[in-house]
Chains A and B, each alone.
Chain A
Amino acid sequence: MEFFKQVDLDWMGKAKYFVALSLTLLLLGMISLISKGGPYYGIDFKGGTMVNVRFAGPPPVDQLRSGLVREGLGQSVIQPISDISNPNSNEVLIGLEEKGQGAEALDAGKTAILNALHATLGSGEAGKQDFNAAGAQAIADALTRKDPLGLGTNAGDRYNQLARQLVIYRDRDRHGIVTNLNDLSAAGATPAVIAALRDSFYTGEFAIINVEIVGPKVGSELRRQAVLVTLYALGGMLVYIAFRFEWVYGAAAVLAVFHDVLITLGLFSIFHFEISLTVIAALLTLVGYSMNDTIVIFDRIRENLRLMRREPFPKIVNRSINQTLSRTILTSGLTFLTVMVLYLMGGQVLRAFSFALVVGIMVGTYSSFGIAAPLVVAWNHWRAPAATAVETGTAAGTKSRKG
């Protein structure tokens, strides 16, 4: 089957609408960025503390907030996480911005957040450990001490194995929280083992599943490097395309990609997504992807320049875009579907990353025919407005196909 047999659309005739659309998107992004005081950086780039807490039930956000205020963390942010693939995740992110504390320990913020959590939700029974915070080693130690299976000196590795089994059950099957030690029977714990565990452990109301602390210096350094690496990547591509085609093509492609990055950053600001290290990875992927798309069209233009010497340049460009349209729609459509799956199912950690790709693939595909190709046409027109199409054609095709 085929979607597009013979299309004959006048893309270059609509260039002014594309430019208007791009300018509007860029302007909207700019307005959002300015009104929000710059991009919304994640802690990778601004420094600070972020603790991801999972609760046994719905998170007691209000209680938690007053607990944090009591610890002097009034400026912290509590953000509940909801996820399409896991709507009742009962998770919150507690974020604390870097206060510029120089002499304080890096993890002072984390300690204060943990104190607030314990103060709000109770720190369990005296002399007992939180089962949901215990490692396999601590559980094995407790079991070996109590010896609920009566193995004596023959215990060997049995309790270590059992402890690992229980921890795997807790982390994989129960997402890190066991609310009742009796549930452990599902993981092969006998009543005697459970009774022994009850002597040493209680089940806490929450589990810390992720902690990130980034010092202030690291943040600003990373920010600088992220900008640099994006510019280097763009520069590298400019050089490669200039070498393979002509510098105008390279400049047009790089400008188009730069436009994609700016629009994506604007949309990040509008939809209030955080910019983290993985988002930079997504942006660079988008740079590569958008470049792909542009090159496929440029390649066709180069080829058609030799085949259609008598045609005006804009017509050749239109023809090239039409010829590759089927491929463009297919590839972009399929890649778009995969990143959409990633966005919907990839989980909280990849949310912003896949958002950048979802947006980037749409913008990147559009910019190839909407920005890059019109730029080359405009350049040709400006350079030789009175020249015949033949001359324009050869001018753009001087570095014809090698090999």
Chain B
Amino acid sequence: MSSNLKWKALFISAVIVACFVGLVGMPDKPTSWAGIKSNFASNIKLGLDLQGGTHLILQVQVQEAVSQETDQMLDHLMTQLRDKNIKYEELRKLNDTQILAHNIAPEQAGAVSNLVKDLYPDWQIAPAPGEASGYLLTISPTRIASIQQQTMDQAEETIRRRIDALGLTEPLVAPYGRGDNEIIVELPGEGDPNRAKSVIQAGGQLELHLVLDTTAYNSEAAAMAAHGGVLPPNAQIVQGKSSASGTSQSAGESWYVIDRAPVVTGRDLRSATPIRSTKNIGFYDVDFTLSTEAGRRFGPFTEQNIGKQLGIVLEHKLETAPVINGRIEDTGVIEGRFGEQEANDLALVLKSGALPASIKYLEERTVGPSLGADSIRQGFRASIVSLIVVMVFMVFYYRLSGVNAVVALLLNLVILLAALAYFGAVLTLPGIAGVILTIGMGVDSNVLIFERIREELRAGKAPVSAVDLGFKRAFLTIIDTHVTTVVSALFLGLFGTGPVRGFAITLVIGLLANLFTSVYVSRVIFDWHLVKMPREAELSI
């Protein structure tokens, strides 16, 4: 019995030591009070609501990527049908996932359906309802799912790269639970979401096109008219940014006719850096370097087109159109009269690549650091006051056994905090409320046991067997009550995010720790006391 007790005491001491190491012994061995404090601060991670920061939830418009796939398919199909000499009256996109082919000659219908089956396994072809010789092409659901997944992954990766480049401490970018293509972005310590939002939102699509026509037009219609109302198949019209330099244009709107196919796109960039502009003093430009492979294409291209303008198109708008003065291998400059931060952010966005689809913000929360500091202060004060109230009452009501309960309660809190530190869980304001609730509900187990022991003593049992029966009989009740609370906390954890999940986590950990402290630790203390106590003495309860 006695040696058994020693082992139990040793085990409890080991748990206590492990808890203190987890709380204040890491990452550096503390040598002073300040060291202990700073270790504690670094081990207990605070949620956004306590340290201040910005929380954004955004939705990736994945449908756009599906629609794009359909656009591409339409393009391919037209080429294929032309090559195979298959005649049709019209081929058009019906909606994001369907293409309608009108009036295909009946004798060529088989050829069309074979073509689709052979070359485009992701597409299903079927006769169009209500049309004798029309066909409906539909993208397969598995392909839609895979496009959506790819788009989400790519969007998350792109946003992460852009946010990381802002140089904030420990930002979080992750898919968000509700399953509607949502991404959560958390920026601890960032009180102003605007910069992060503009960086996330920027499309970052960079393309270099040859400018076909040196004139800048006042309107799209004017540009079209200058080319006889019909553009050549290889040309497109883009709008210029009002401040676009290097062109003959001065004020108002400007429109340019450029080559449809880009020479170089954002994907070909190796790096992009902001530099002080040499032309526009006080402004910044963005300098970029191309990958080797793109440079091999760019060199001959620039050589052949000396004297012509090269349009730098960002986000479907012509930023600048410098004249090609000589062969350029792999570097270029975007001149846009940018401010320093603007140039920085543009470089960053260019480097991280384009977002695969546009995004929409669903939620934005900003907690100022002063509110966080107030919350910590109030939460801490409330915890201490409730702890003192409960401790005083327990000792007053149960005397020495109350001291036992207080020890168990304090250990319960230490284990709870250490578990938060070990699991890297985040302490939120509702989490602090969870700690306070643990203080109140934690003594419940002790109360259940003690009341039971009192009953047994009243029934005339000796202290040793009263304690034994008290623990045994109360144990089942304790298990039942803990399970039901854990069930509700688990559902809460599944549903909630951020602060609410923090509450559920602290509540569950607190309850589990409570099982250990109030049943196991309290019992060991009782046994130890019973061994020391004279046989005839009364139990102080």
Contacts and interface: CB of A to CB of B under 8 A. Distances in A.
A172 B373 contact: yes
B448 interface: yes
B440 A339 contact: yes
Given A292-B444, A292-B485, A229 B433 contact: no
A337 B371 contact: no
A403 B494 CA distance: 31
A334 B484 contact: no
Interface in B480-498: 480-481, 483-489, 491-492, 494-496
B145 interface: no
A347 interface: yes
Contact of B500 (A172, A278, A338, A357): A278
Interface string B26-52: 000000000000000000000001001
Interface in B135-189: 178, 180
B339 to A, nearest CB: 14
Contacts of A225: 178, 495
Interface string A373-403: 0000000000000000000000000000101
B447 A288 contact: no
Interface stretch (B111-119, B316-324, B384-392): B384-392
B454 interface: yes
A54 B370 contact: yes
Interface string B428-472: 011001001101110110011001001100000000000000000
A1 interface: yes
Interface residues of B, number: 71
A159 interface: no
Interface in A222-276: 225-226, 228-229, 232-233, 236-237, 240-241, 244
A215 B362 contact: yes
B378 interface: yes
A326 B451 contact: yes
Nearest to B182: A218
A291 B367 CA distance: 35
A240 B389 contact: no
A299 B386 contact: no
Contacts of A330: 397, 447, 451
Nearest to A1: B397
Given A240-B483, A346-B378, A211 B396 contact: no
Contact of A281 (B178, B451, B503): B503
Interface string B345-379: 00000000000000011111111111111110011
B495 A226 contact: yes
B11 interface: no
A195 interface: no
A177 to B, nearest CB: 8
A112 B364 CA distance: 15
A233 B490 CA distance: 8
Interface in A96-111: 105-107, 110
A209 B375 CA distance: 12
B476 interface: yes
B99 interface: no
Interface string B396-424: 11000000000000000000000000000
A123 interface: no
B444 A335 contact: yes
B507 interface: yes
B381 interface: yes
A95 interface: no
B448 A350 contact: no
A367 B430 CA distance: 26
B499 interface: yes
B304 to A, nearest CB: 45
B504 interface: yes
Interface string B298-320: 00000000000000000000000
Contacts of A177: 370
Given A218-B363, A327-B447, A357-B437, A167 B489 contact: no
A292 B445 CA distance: 11
A369 interface: no
Given A232-B491, A334-B440, A335-B441, A208 B368 contact: yes
A135 interface: yes
Interface string A278-316: 101100110111011001100100010000000000000
A337 B440 contact: yes
A171 B491 contact: no
B120 interface: no
A106 B364 contact: yes
A403 B472 CA distance: 11
A299 B192 contact: no
A8 interface: no
Contacts of A226: 495
B429 A349 contact: yes
A241 B448 CA distance: 19
Contact of A107 (B57, B361, B439): B361
A338 B436 contact: yes
Given A281-B492, A284-B489, A338-B390, A213 B364 contact: yes
Contact of A210 (B368, B389, B454): B368
B440 A277 contact: no
A52 interface: yes
Nearest to A232: B491
A175 B374 contact: yes
B499 A278 contact: yes
Interface string A316-354: 000000011011001100111111011001110110011
A323 B456 CA distance: 12
A66 interface: no
A105 B447 CA distance: 55
A146 to B, nearest CB: 18
A337 B441 CA distance: 11
B191 interface: yes
Contacts of B374: 86, 175, 347
B395 to A, nearest CB: 11
Contacts of B480: 244, 295, 299
B324 to A, nearest CB: 39
B484 A175 contact: no
A101 to B, nearest CB: 13
Contacts of A204: none
A85 B378 contact: yes
A15 interface: no
A236 B484 CA distance: 8
Contacts of B496: 277, 280-281
A27 to B, nearest CB: 27
Contacts of B57: 218
Given A244-B480, A347-B375, A337 B390 contact: yes
22 contacts: A1-B397, A52-B371, A85-B378, A175-B374, A209-B368, A226-B495, A229-B492, A237-B487, A278-B503, A281-B496, A281-B504, A284-B489, A285-B503, A288-B486, A295-B484, A296-B448, A299-B480, A338-B439, A342-B386, A346-B378, A347-B378, A349-B49
Instruction: List 6 tightest A-B contacts by C-beta distance, closest first.
Output: A176-B370, A335-B440, A288-B485, A338-B440, A347-B378, A338-B386
Given A215-B361, A327-B447, A354-B433, 8 more contacts: A52-B371, A106-B361, A213-B364, A295-B477, A335-B441, A338-B389, A338-B440, A341-B385
